[in-house]
Amino acid sequence: MEPKRIAVFVNRRRDKELAVTKTVIEYIKKYGMEPVASFPLAQETGILGFDEKEIPGNVSIALSLGGDGTLLSTARLLFKHDIPVMGINLGTVGFLAEVEIHDIENAIKSLSTGDYKLTKRMVLTSRVERGGSIVFSGMALNDVVVSREGLSRIILLKVYVDDQYIDSFPGDGVIVSTPTGSTAYTLSAGGPIVQPEMQMMIITPICPHILYSRSFITSPEKEVIVRIDDDYPDPAIITLDGQTGFEIMAGDQIFVKRAGKEISFVSINHLNFYDVLRAKIHGWNADSK
């Protein structure tokens, strides 16, 4: 029987000398599994390599070394390959990357023995239509954000769920979030905290220039439509997980809905969501003083 093949992805800014990465690779070998990585990381660490555009089909699990941003980009890269992802936190708060440096060996040992669970996370797909044509599309694990750019003025966005008009929001923009993304940008914008395994979309205005500001929760079976006012004179932008962006303009329509499949996260700490949430938020508050 072939050993489990574990793919390693790392944010080089978080591990410049690859000290943590090399430790992870040694633990993978120690517990009878095979480490692999994309080029050039594979060449630098002396392990089997692959091109990121051609992920091997026999990878069992992927490890993401970095912060939540690294985990998001890794998850999007592996989305179509159905490879579960486990995050090792080399960043700050790390809501998604739950394994801390001091617990790396125990986590990798758990992978070798099967002592872990997979949690499914909802994914969003989005597209931008301009004059009846699709000019941009992509997927997001955390959120799809439609917002004004830089020094541009207040943007007016009309929001619909399917064909039902919800409201118009003058302000900085609108966030359409998954439950996973409820602890990201949506949290900063005053949105609700939602257990990540749930299925729903959260619509949250960003700094709206109105007397009330509340999030809207909608069924994952629906499609959220955001329309930019026809008279808006400045450029705007759609961003996916804060990492992929596309410039949009007056009259564009942005469609957001649940993807046809989910992303699997590997969990080994056996902590409930609220334990993790409390530890991360309290830890961040302490570190920021």
Q: How many CB atoms lie within 10 A of CB 126?
A: 24
Q: What pLDDT is recorded for position 91?
A: 80
CA separation for the pair 233, 123 (Å, rounded): 32
Q: What pLDDT is recorded for position 283?
A: 63
In angstroms, what CA-CA distances link 211 with 154, 179, 207, 208?
15, 26, 11, 8
Question: Which residues are registered as beta bridge partners of 138?
Answer: 126
pTM of the model: 0.92
User: Where do we find the tokens 């056996």?
Assistant: 270
Q: How confident is the model over 37-65, as a mean pLDDT?
A: 93
Quick: pLDDT tens for 207-259.
Answer: 999 988 899 999 999 999 999 999 999 999 999 999 999 999 999 999 999 99
The residues that are catalytic are 68
Q: Which numeric CATH code is attached to 5-121+262-287?
A: 3.40.50.10330
Tell me if domain 5-121+262-287 and domain 124-258 are identical in fold: no
Right CATH number for 124-258 from 4.10.140.10, 2.60.260.20, 2.60.200.30, 3.40.50.300? 2.60.200.30
Q: What pLDDT is recorded for position 202?
A: 99
Find out whether 5 and 49 touch, Cβ atoms under 8 Å. no
Task: Locate the domains of the chain by residue range.
Answer: 5-121+262-287, 124-258
Q: What pLDDT is recorded for position 286?
A: 47
Q: How many CB atoms lie within 10 A of CB 125?
A: 17
Find out whether 265 and 175 touch, Cβ atoms under 8 Å. no
- State the average pLDDT for the chain: 93
Q: Is 83 strand, coil or helix?
A: coil
